[in-house]
Structure 1
Amino acid sequence: MVSKLDLYRVFSIVGKNESFSRAAKALFMTQPAVSQSIMQLERELDTRLFNRTPKGVTPTTEGSLLLEYVNSAMNLIEIGEEKIAEFKNLTTGELRIGVGDTISKHVLLPQLEAFRNRYPNIKLKIENGTTDALISFLKSGEVDIGICNLPVQDTTLNVRPFLHIHDTFVYGDKYRKLLARPIDFHELAKLPLILLEPSSNSRRYVEDYLASKGVKISPEFELGSHDLVVEFARINMGIACVTREFTEEYLESGVLQEVQLIEQIPHRGIGVCSLKSVPLSPASTKFMELVVGWDE
């Protein structure tokens, strides 16, 4: 069955060529098929669109008026198809990422630099927030992908881990003698602890693991960023729970020391989350391929 759009496409080409036979060649159709298409459109509109002459066809007054609109519409469709091709080829488009401040600094920025160098015409939009906030951004359509602290338990999301990280505790010069030997979790809980805010996925993971060992912790300080937690430890405000991979500069320089725990906290992950119900944009797909090593 020929669609209305197909009929208008034939109508437009006939109008440009002023000939059924030339239009047939341009459309790779037979001349009778072109003639039948125009007749069908005329019946549906109850209007004669072309005057037939031995030398070809010319549009009627009604046909000329309709041609203006149809040609304009067909041009818009072609432009739209070209734009879609541009999105697929990543010559235009937008990459919208949700990410926490710490992961943005230590994980995302170097990767974004490489992505931007390869695809300079892609606009970048970054939304910051906790893991819970990033999931909300995903569900509201504000971002295409979220780079989150794992674990994330949500059946509406695709979760793709790509980096292992380790939670540990660090201290400054003031606590060197006190922490010169390995300690267990019960001893750790008695120290002045510095943790992220309770809404942080990182905080919840550590608390839940210690609770599974029968240890409840009550921090002296609850702070809003990993960098601030590290700085509080540096000035000897207490023992800070940090991500080892994001604190390497302080540990390697000796500014901070890592608490020797008799039992290590199991590693967790950083992953990319996206909605199962929404296909990834071309830019998001390429970002996943290049940066995360994911290939659908």
Structure 2
Amino acid sequence: MAINFHQLHIFYTVAERGSFSSAAQMLHMSQPAVTMQIQSLEDYFGVKLFHRSTKKVVLSEAGKTLMPYAKKSMQIMKDTEQAMASYTESLKGELQLGASLTIGESILPRLLGYFSKQYTHISYKLKVMNTTQIMEEVLNHQLHIGLVEAEIKHPELTVEPVLNDELMLIVPKGHPLFEQETVTLEEVLRQPFVLREQGSGTRQVIEEVFMEHGVSPETLPVVMELGSTGAVKSAVEAGLGVSILSAASVKHEVALDIIRTKPITGMQMRRHFYIIHEKDRLLPLPATTFQAFIQEKDMKNWNLMNE
């Protein structure tokens, strides 16, 4: 019997998880099937790859030697699939995708429009949620990949920057700041704020930028927290306060001149959007193809979403 990539993938996952049962859950296999593949690999090399106990498994010296080669084979497979993705125009399958609200409401529909014209046989399961929820569903294997508005750090996630965005102060028609070209930080802090809820990527970026300028998030005069970008825009239009949102999310309202975006003097709130997926999980080809597609859109094709 020859060694194969599938066995190396199972070996790597067991080693990373430290458990046959945890690896089986991640790989969508039964625990006996995982055990059998590891035993086959051990029979092939004629050595034990793990020391087993009732609580966990740890790599033997032979397993430690094999580990970097298994990791390298995983990366080669990922790179191969991504390199070949653009040639697979007849690709079929389902893409399970999560997006935070600004991306899901304002940017992703345009992106998926371009993508679906090229890959007509892929179907979509899309969830629009906040960043924390997306992270949880990616880790629980309910989503292949997620698109989020703030950089997150988690040992089991790969997080890569993709598209660029800028947050701006937004004010409604009739507001005292509506006609001003720029607004100072002192003027902003005197305004009632309508913000996205805690846990959203937009809220996280706002709080980080204010802290960089010596303003504690707890001191912001927040009068209302809402669970969607659309609800925030409606509250601002109604005169309940000002807010800070992605400039891309208010293009329609700005065109109608019912909301205006304002730079805050001395403050820039530029950010990346991020694509996230489980670090040690091999993505299905529709997800790999979409990942390559959106990474290619970074910078040079951003204008496609601003036409």
Partner of 2:249: 246
TM-score (norm 1): 0.64
Q: Tell me, yes or no, if the aligned pair for 1:102 and 1:227 is still in contact at 8 Å.
A: no
Q: Tell me, yes or no, if the aligned pair for 2:195 and 2:225 is still in contact at 8 Å.
A: yes
1:232 paired to 2:235: yes
Q: Tell me, yes or no, if the aligned pair for 2:173 and 2:257 is still in contact at 8 Å.
A: no
Identity %: 19
Per-residue Cα deviation, 1:161-209 (whole angstroms, up to 9, x for no partner): 1211111111112313686364332331221111111221211221122
Match runs of 1:72-83 below 5 Å: none
From the superposition, tell whether residues 250 and 139 of structure 1 become closer, same or farther in structure 2 (CA, over 3 Å). same
Cα distance in 1, alignment partners of residues 262 and 111 from structure 2: 31
Q: Tell me, yes or no, if the aligned pair for 1:100 and 1:128 is still in contact at 8 Å.
A: yes
Partner of 1:273: 276
Please, what is the CA RMSD of the aligned residues? Answer: 2.5
Partner of 2:143: 143
1:127 paired to 2:130: no
1:175 alignment partner, SS class: coil
Q: Flag the structure with larger Rg.
A: 1
From the superposition, tell whether residues 181 and 266 of structure 1 become closer, same or farther in structure 2 (CA, over 3 Å). closer
1:180 paired to 2:141: no
Structure 1: unaligned runs, 5 residues or longer: 3-87
Letter in 2 for 1:239: V
Per-residue Cα deviation, 1:197-256 (whole angstroms, up to 9, x for no partner): 122121122112212322231311111111111121112221121111221222233211
For these two proteins, the number of residue pairs brought into alignment is 211
Cα distance in 2, alignment partners of residues 187 and 91 from structure 1: 53
2:198 alignment partner, SS class: coil
Letter in 2 for 1:238: G
1:91 Cα deviation from its structure 2 partner: 4.3
Partner of 1:73: none
Cα distance in 1, alignment partners of residues 91 and 124 from structure 2: 13
Match runs of 1:6-155 below 5 Å: 90-155=90-155
From the superposition, tell whether residues 289 and 182 of structure 1 become closer, same or farther in structure 2 (CA, over 3 Å). closer
After superposing the two structures, state which structure 1 stretch, 263-272 or 182-191, moved more. 182-191
Per-residue Cα deviation, 1:7-48 (whole angstroms, up to 9, x for no partner): xxxxxxxxxxxxxxxxxxxxxxxxxxxxxxxxxxxxxxxxxx
TM-score (norm 2): 0.62
From the superposition, tell whether residues 243 and 91 of structure 1 become closer, same or farther in structure 2 (CA, over 3 Å). closer
1:293 paired to 2:299: no
From the superposition, tell whether residues 198 and 218 of structure 1 become closer, same or farther in structure 2 (CA, over 3 Å). farther
Q: Tell me, yes or no, if the aligned pair for 1:170 and 1:259 is still in contact at 8 Å.
A: yes
2:286 to 280, 283, 287: 283
Structure 2: unaligned runs, 5 residues or longer: 3-87, 298-307
Cα distance in 2, alignment partners of residues 118 and 181 from structure 1: 42
Letter in 2 for 1:139: L
Q: Which has the higher contact order (CA 8 A, sep 6+)?
A: 2
